[in-house]
Structure 1
Amino acid sequence: MNTFRLCIVVAGLHLATAFPSQAADHQIGALFPLSGPNATYGDIFMSGADLAVDHINADELLSGELSLRYEDSQALPQRAVVGMTKLVNVDQVPYVLSAFTGVSKAISTLAQRNQVVAVNGGGVGPDLAQLGEYFWNVIPLANLEVRGLVPYLVEEEGLKNVVLIYVDDPLGQAIRTELETELPTVGGTLVDALSVPTTAQQFSGIAAKVRAAEPDAVYIASYGAQQLQIVKQLRDNGVDAQLVTYSGYSVSEALALPESEGLIYTTQSVDYDSDDPVTKRFVDDYTAKYGRAPTAYNVNYYNAVRLFGLLAHALEDKGQAVTGANLLAERMATDSFDLVGGTVSFQDDGTLVAPIQINIVTDGAGQPVATVDVAD
């Protein structure tokens, strides 16, 4: 009888090794503005992230299905903390997509404390590189955008005297600091810096101050509906100086604004015509699915989700659990990743550095005019 039981146990062990364990589904989270004045960004971010989920599941990259759990941040730090708390404590996700500088800073403490990876593909405040080992950036930060742009403005375009209009939050304050630092190095001057509250929508008084300063260029550091109103009201109030801004303007609604014609803005550089298989698949499938060409934000959130897929796949191959701590360790142990735009590597602070592309709005679309390599 004992011998019979032993045979049953041995047979059971052989069966357990002959068949793989049950596939494990994976869920990650995202804190995007799904309502409010910045909901346009949420739609843009989701389209890139959702396509990456489609591709990961179609390729059976993971043992089970990958899904995305969205929480509405409204681009507000307090709302984001509520959403992050739910994603961490209720949904127990190991990986969360974030956006906007203020939101990212607000949720970074929760990410660090709970060993949950947070990945930013939209906020560009330079201090986002200093939020701890569990906070990663797949977008060049504002210091790199400004660093790439300033020499072009001053040396190529002869636009030496700049007025800054900036939203009074971490993003705007960071861009002010960068302009104050970078302009003098190439013979430029920050003539004035005009702050506006995050909720402001009337800018005739700001326009009057800009006219009085007579700048060569006006740099706008804002986002969402507010940045469109600034551009429109500057032009409506007789400001004819060159308008300049950062990658937050690279959304179709902003580019299509008639007053945007001729505006200069920066983005990360991505060769959308590349034959690289990851990039080509992304561009072809994004265009087919959404009926429009992708932009840098679509790339960033596709890459953020693809990065999770690659890391989780590697962990599953090693028989390790897909936790935030293991995802961090795997990222640090991996030299490079094949993402949209090419093969990339992370710096020690969890940030990617990419060349900066300078664009001019022409007929409602951004036309690249220069690409600049920048060092962090």
Structure 2
Amino acid sequence: MSQFKRVISAGVMACALVAASASQAADVTIGALFPMSGLNASYGDIFGSGANLAAEHVNADNLLGGKLSIQYEDSQALPQQGVIGMNKLVNVQKVPYVLSAFTGVSKAISTISSRTRTVAVNGGGVGPDLAELGPYFWNIIPLANYEVRAMIPYLVNERKMKRVVLIYVDDPLGQSIKKEMETALPAAGGQLLEALSVPASAQQFGGIAARVRSANPDAIYVASYGSQQSQIVKQFRDNGLKQLFASYTAFSIPEINALPEAAGSVYTSQNIDWASQDPVTKRFVDDYKKKYNKMPTAYIANYYNAVRLFALLSQQLIKKGQPLTGENLLKQRVETKTFDLVGGKVTVAENGTVTMPMQINEIDGKGGKVVSTAAPK
């Protein structure tokens, strides 16, 4: 081989090694704390489908110059399990960014997030106090106070249902919704007849149904999640209760939408135009339908957006030559403020929360239909 060819060959090999090294260095892993077992495992499947699709799109577009991966840990929707998973993600996997879900889990991991300067992003829990967990805890979902404030005027003014009984799970999520309803209902001209708490593990509701029957409300608001909310609906109907069920985004899961006893129930979620032609939303909807043969839901969009938000922030940091740390991600989010996500441009407030228009959905056994919209309050 001539000296010229040897030099060229060596140069090509060196470039290849440098390129391979750069590619390897650019590979990045983020974490996700989802329930993958237990009574709420279906939520983990739902959340993960959105997060995984976002990662596929990020990698297809080569936004980070290397592969984005998601390391999942099973929270079981329980605070203690969430803390165990968070410690593993932060201390072993060294991730800079973690997807969180459920109010109790989110609150439990927030101190670890703050102490280690690891960004945690919630797309499922809706307790209003999740807005107060420090600069490293963000919410990509409108919180329960916005959901309740959208639902109450709809019930009182549009449906003429002023007398409401609340069934709430006795945890931070349920307690926060109870607190919001105690204010929102009287302000709208309604009345909270009773607020009945149930343990998070409860699955038998015959006694609670009897108390609701005695109160004789116009509507029953269910602040629960997972298999428990399905059991509440079924057992209340079995006990002869025919009133309208109302709830928040948790009612968007397939199990509730396919439940005959839940037909006609209404629930809030953020307003997303699934037929929008904006490139991000259209690509998300088209690819999700192609992959899963069904329409996405707000939860799925939330976790797609959470992963896409990480990619957009990281892309800017990479251009600046800055490492992908939680501290730098926070600085870049504060600097950028507005992002192109599913649903359109989203502005993240200083406290890491988002506000969006809300919609009221009615369960019809066919994926649901929008019956009303409301501006954020």
**Which TM bucket (shorter chain)?**
over 0.9
Q: 1:183-217: per-residue Cα shift (whole Å, max 9, x none)? A: 11111000001000000000000000000001000
**Residue 335 of structure 1: how far off its partner (Å):** 3.0
Match of 1:279 in 2: 281
Match of 2:301 in 1: 299
Work out whether 1:84 is the aligned partner of 2:86. Answer: yes
Matched residues in 2 for 1:193 and 1:70: separation? 36
Q: Which amino acid aligns with 1:330?
A: Q
Q: 1:56-99: per-residue Cα shift (whole Å, max 9, x none)? A: 00000002110000000000000000000000000000000000
SS state at 1:128 partner = helix
Match of 2:66 in 1: 64
Identify which of 179, 191, 209 aligns with 1:177: 179
Question: What are the residue-to-residue correspondences of 1:232-271 with 2, within 5 Å?
Answer: 232-271=234-273
Contact 2:359/2:372 (8 A) holds in 1: yes
Match of 2:357 in 1: 355
Identify which of 129, 132, 146 aligns with 2:131: 129
Matched residues in 2 for 1:127 and 1:54: separation? 32
Q: TM-score, normalised by structure 1?
A: 0.94
Contact 2:169/2:199 (8 A) holds in 1: yes
Q: Which amino acid aligns with 2:357?
A: P
Question: What are the residue-to-residue correspondences of 1:124-203 with 2, within 5 Å?
Answer: 124-203=126-205
Contact 1:27/1:93 (8 A) holds in 2: yes
Q: Which amino acid aligns with 1:351?
A: T
**Residue 234 of structure 1: how far off its partner (Å):** 0.5
**Residue 241 of structure 1: how far off its partner (Å):** 1.1
**Residue 364 of structure 1: how far off its partner (Å):** 4.1
Match of 2:98 in 1: 96
Match of 1:321 in 2: 323
Matched residues in 1 for 2:56 and 2:353: separation? 25
Q: Which runs of 5+ in 2 are unaligned?
A: 1-10
Q: Which amino acid aligns with 1:295?
A: T
SS state at 1:195 partner = strand
Q: Which amino acid aligns with 2:277?
A: D
Aligned residues: 360
Q: TM-score, normalised by structure 2?
A: 0.94
Q: Which amino acid aligns with 1:337?
A: F
Q: Which amino acid aligns with 2:39?
A: P
Contact 2:337/2:349 (8 A) holds in 1: no
Matched residues in 1 for 2:53 and 2:322: separation? 26
Matched residues in 1 for 2:367 and 2:321: separation? 47
Matched residues in 2 for 1:177 and 1:347: separation? 23
Q: 1:81-136: per-residue Cα shift (whole Å, max 9, x none)? A: 00000000000000000000000000000000000000000000000000000000
SS state at 2:168 partner = strand
